[in-house]
Amino acid sequence: MPVGHSYYASSDSLSAQFYEDLLCRGWRRSGTLLYRPNQRTSCCPHYTIRLDALAFKATKEQRQAVNRFNRYVLGEEYIKESARVHPKSKEESARRKTDFDLVERIHESESKNLKTPPNPAHDLFVTLEPNSFTEEKFDLFENYQRVVHHEPPHRITKSGFRSFLCSSPLERCKHTIDGKDLLLGSYHQCYRLDGRLVAIGVIDLLPHAVSGVYFMYHESIHTWNPGKISAMREAALAAEEGYRWYMMGFYIHSCKKMKYKVDYHPQYVLDPESHTWDLLDEDFKRRLDARKYVSLSREKREGIEAPNTNGGVRIEDSVEDTMDVERTESDDESSSSTDDVSLFSRNMPGLLPESELTPALLDHIKLRVRGQVVETSDLITWETGSIHQPESIKGVIAELVATVGTDCAKNMVISF
């Protein structure tokens, strides 16, 4: 249902492919809640972005973060002694000086990949685990929310952690895609240092993307730039396992704490109207500087040129990070009084035009009622409803179909 500047829905079960299709139409999940922001009317438009992990080239600062962390884990004594006991060839040494292989460097300090003796200063293990609740994970979450985000202890609850980061509508499975066996579903990528859980990356593995949901870490590793490390590890996962795309959530151009996302490139932005992907380059950023809402397909169609110089950001934003935006937006807009306004009157970009919401489509949307699957046309009151009546069953379903698109609409089953 539409609330404020977003469209919300909830789901008990989604296939990874279906959710990926939703992401490519501007949707996002928080726990089992699915929502799609209205970029045109929002004060701080949320743009879906994705990184081409195969083409990603780390910046000097990003390379330094990985190298510093590896050096800390391995220790100077191990590095020196290992070079003597397990020397690299001249060719390999020369290559390492000129090339930064992301996959190689991101795994370099993991204990399972090391030649011993000698022994490293610390033991690092990174594992992909089900997104289930454990006391160990909650303790890390509590430390992160309290120390890093300064959240008061009474607001950090186990039930909140479960619903926010352990609940997901995605089913975990293994599927062969383009000849590769890929894990799909929601997972926790757990970092353990000397046996202690120090970080978790909450991720969704999709047929063609690794989608980052949240990242948290213990205060003890703050100095080692864990945010950069996790982003590059998730990009490396997308590259080495064959997912290709790394989706870093929403990008809000006016939010200073999201500026780091544009440092990972080539980054692409989902056009809110055409649902095509555009390179987030200097031209695009100049457009965002000048106008808070940008649809490149529309601007090209209307011949709108990018400004010649960078202008100041037009709106202020105090949002801290992506997931804080998502949680705050959900909380703030739940009390909106605009529930009775039709979605088609809200100027939301990217909706299916009314001309495509024909009986041939709407009359055959699948419903699950009391365990039985029927079609919308089987409902007694279906013919008397209108897509412009948001309180009617036809209005609700028409709005949902308009936001998810034709292909998703044909494949979904709505439960009552």
**pLDDT-derived band at 8, boundaries 50, 70, 90:** confident
Listed range (88-102, 181-195, 202-216, 217-231) with the worst mean pLDDT: 88-102
Q: Which CATH number fits domain 54-243: 3.40.50, 3.40.630, 3.30.1490, 1.10.10?
A: 3.40.630
Q: Which of 349, 314, 209, 346 is nearest to 268 (CA)?
A: 209
Between 329 and 181, name the one with better pLDDT. Answer: 181
User: Which alpha helices (H) appear in 172-246, and where do they start and end?
Assistant: 226-241
**pLDDT value for 326:** 40
**pLDDT-derived band at 179, boundaries 50, 70, 90:** confident
* Segment 41-83, tens digit of pLDDT: 998 999 999 999 999 999 999 999 999 999 999 999 999 999 9
* Segment 230-272, tens digit of pLDDT: 999 999 999 999 999 999 999 999 998 888 999 999 999 999 9
Helix pair angle (226-241, 60-74), 10° resolution: 100
**pLDDT-derived band at 120, boundaries 50, 70, 90:** very high
Identity of residue 264: Y
Q: Return the DSSP state at 170.
A: B
Chain region(s) in the chain for CATH 3.40.630:
54-243
d(CA 186, CA 162): 13
| Cβ(13)–Cβ(169) below 8 Å | yes
